Amino acid sequence: MNIGSFYYRRLLSRRQWTLLSAGVGISVAALVYSLISITDYEQSIVLAITNAKPHIRIFFHELPVDQFALTSKSISSLLAIRCCTIAYRIPGPISITVRNADTGQNMYSEAINSEVVGYCFKPGHAIPIDLHTVYSKACRTRGEMDPLAIMQDYSTRHRVIIDEDMLDKILPMAMPSGDNFMMTISDLSGNSNTIAVTTAGSYLVPPIGVMGVEQHSVYVRIEDIQPHDQSGKPLANCLDIQLNNPTLDRRVRDQLRKLLPPNTRIEIWSERDQDSIAFIDTLRTACLWGAAILISLSGICVYYVLSMVIEDKRKQIAILMAHGASDASIRYILLRCGCIIAALGSMAGVLCGATAAYVFHDSQQRLMRSFYYSESAVHIPCGGVVVIVSLAFISCIIGVWLPCRSALKIQPAILIRSE
C-alpha cells in the first residue's frame, strides 16, 4: 500500500468531496442533457425530413384566423400541383370547436396554446380516413416514416389540426352520411372562422383535407383534386406544373403571393429544412462552447478548492514529506483526488443528464416516435458522452495539477520549524 491510497480520502472533508463532485456532476449533467436533446432533435427532425424527400413543400406564416377560410379556399386551386404540400400556420393560442350543424351538439373542442400547422384543402374533396390509416400502417410496416407523424414531429410548437386523433373523435359520433359539422377556429382577440364539414359514407367529406408529402399521392391523387372541365381537361386556373420542375417553388410562391394576405411570410420548406440543419449546427456549436465553458468552470472550481485545501494542509504535506513521502506520492494523492472527483461527478452527471432528458425533453415526441417507429425512448450519444467525461477528467486533472505544483514546493524543514 502506498501513502497516496492511504491518505487521499482524508485530504478533503466529506463536504468538499460532495461539493466538488456535485459541481462537476452538474456540468456533466447539463452537457449530457444538451447533447441528448440535440441528438434527439437531430434524429427525429432532420432525418425524418430528409427521409421524406419532398419535392416541394411550401410553408407560410402568420395566417390570421379571420383569413383562414378565405385563404384556404383561395389556395385550394393550387392543390393541382402534384407532389406539393402547402401548409399554413396560425399563431396561437386558438381554440377549435366542431359542432354538429344539424343538432347543435358539440363534437370536439380543443384549446391550443401554440402555433397551429395545417394543410391546404380542397372544398368538396373527400379524404378516406381508413385509407390514410391503412397507408400509415403500411408505411410503418415497411419501416418508412409516417408522413403525418413527421409533420407532428416537426416541432412541439406545431400541431396538425386535422389529424387522426381529431377525426377519430368526431367520426364515431357522426351519422354514416349526411351529417354537417361546423368547425370554428377562434383566437384570443375574438376573430373566428367557421368551415363546413360533411360526412359521406364512411368518409369525412370536409372542405378540409390532408395534403401530405409526395407519398400521399396514394390517397391524394392529382386527378381527384384537380378541377377538370367536361372534356377532361384541367381548368385553366389550376397550375399544371410538371414534377421536379426547378421553377415550381418560385411559381407557386408567386401564385400564393397573389392569394395570401399581404405581409404573409412565405417560406419554401426545403429552405426551412436547411434552416433546421443550420440550427442543429448552431446548437451543436453552442453545446461545444457550453461544454468548454462549463467544464472549464468545474476545473477552475476544483483548482480553487484544492488550492485552498493545499494551503490549509501544507503542514500535513510537510509532515508526510519529512517522513519520506516522495514528490510522486504527493502528486499521486492529489491526482487521485482529482480523478475521483471527476469519476463521481461524471457518473452522477451522466445519470442525471440522461434521466432529465428522458423526463423533461419532449416526452410527447419521444412517446410518439417510440410508438410509430419502435425507437428506444432515449438516445444516448455514447461518443459525445465519452468526450464530455474525458473533458471532465482532463479539466479536473488540470485543476489538480496546478495546486500540486505548489504542494511540491513545500519545504518541510522550513514549514515544520515555523510551526
Partner 1 sequence: MKRNIVRCTGLHKRYPLHASASVGEELNVLKGVDLDLSEGSFSSIVGVSGCGKSTLLNLLGLLDTPNQGEIEIDGVSITANSTTKAQLCYYRSRKIGFVFQSHHLLPELTILQNVMIPLIIQNQKRHAACIMAKECIGMLFKEDEIASGIMDRTPDSVSGGQCQRAAIARAIVASPSLIVADEPTGNLDENTANEVFTILLQIQKKRNATIIMVTHNPDQASRTDVVYRLHNGLLSRESNLCSPP
Q: Based on the shown chain and the rule CB under 8 A, indicate whether residue 91 belongs to the binding site for partner 1.
A: no
Q: Based on the shown chain and the rule CB under 8 A, indicate whether residue 93 belongs to the binding site for partner 1.
A: no
> Distance between alpha carbon 290 and the CA centroid of its chain, in Å?
19
What is the rounded distance in angstroms from the CA atom of residue 210 to the CA atom of residue 151? 11
Shortest spacing between CB 2 and partner 1, in angstroms = 5
Q: Based on the shown chain and the rule CB under 8 A, indicate whether residue 270 belongs to the binding site for partner 1.
A: no
Instruction: Closer to partner 1 by CB, 275 or 312: give it.
Output: 312
Q: Where are the beta strands (DSSP E) in 247-375?
A: 266-268
In this structure, is the dihedral angle defined by the CA atoms of residues 36, 39, 41 and 43, taken in order, positive or negative? negative
192-200 and 180-187 strand pairing: antiparallel
Region of 47-55, 217-225, 294-302, 322-330 interacting with partner 1 (CB under 8 A)? 322-330
Sheet of 192-200, strands arranged across: 106-112, 94-100, 180-187, 192-200, 203-205
Cell of residue 62, nine digits: 402568420
Q: Based on the shown chain and the rule CB under 8 A, indicate whether residue 319 belongs to the binding site for partner 1.
A: yes
56-60 and 84-90 strand pairing: parallel
SS3 45: helix
CA atoms lying within 13 Å on the CB side of residue 284: 12
Instruction: Closer to partner 1 by CB, 125 or 315: give it.
Output: 315
Instruction: Closer to partner 1 by CB, 238 or 318: give it.
Output: 318
Q: Based on the shown chain and the rule CB under 8 A, indicate whether residue 412 belongs to the binding site for partner 1.
A: yes
- The only residue of 47, 322, 367, 377 in contact with partner 1, by rule CB under 8 A: 322
- The only residue of 145, 325, 400, 407 in contact with partner 1, by rule CB under 8 A: 325
Shortest spacing between CB 316 and partner 1, in angstroms = 5
What is the rounded distance in angstroms from the CA atom of residue 26 to the CA atom of residue 39? 20
Q: Based on the shown chain and the rule CB under 8 A, indicate whether residue 326 belongs to the binding site for partner 1.
A: yes
What is the rounded distance in angstroms from the CA atom of residue 19 to the CA atom of residue 304? 12
Q: Based on the shown chain and the rule CB under 8 A, indicate whether residue 102 belongs to the binding site for partner 1.
A: no
Shortest spacing between CB 15 and partner 1, in angstroms = 14
94-100 and 180-187 strand pairing: antiparallel
What is the rounded distance in angstroms from the CA atom of residue 158 to the CA atom of residue 114? 7
Footprint of partner 1 on 10-39 (CB under 8 A): 10-11
Instruction: Closer to partner 1 by CB, 145 or 320: give it.
Output: 320
- The only residue of 75, 107, 320, 410 in contact with partner 1, by rule CB under 8 A: 320
Q: Based on the shown chain and the rule CB under 8 A, indicate whether residue 3 belongs to the binding site for partner 1.
A: yes
Shortest spacing between CB 309 and partner 1, in angstroms = 12
Q: Which residues bind partner 1 (CB under 8 A)?
A: 1-3, 6-7, 10-11, 315-316, 319-329, 411-413, 416-417, 419
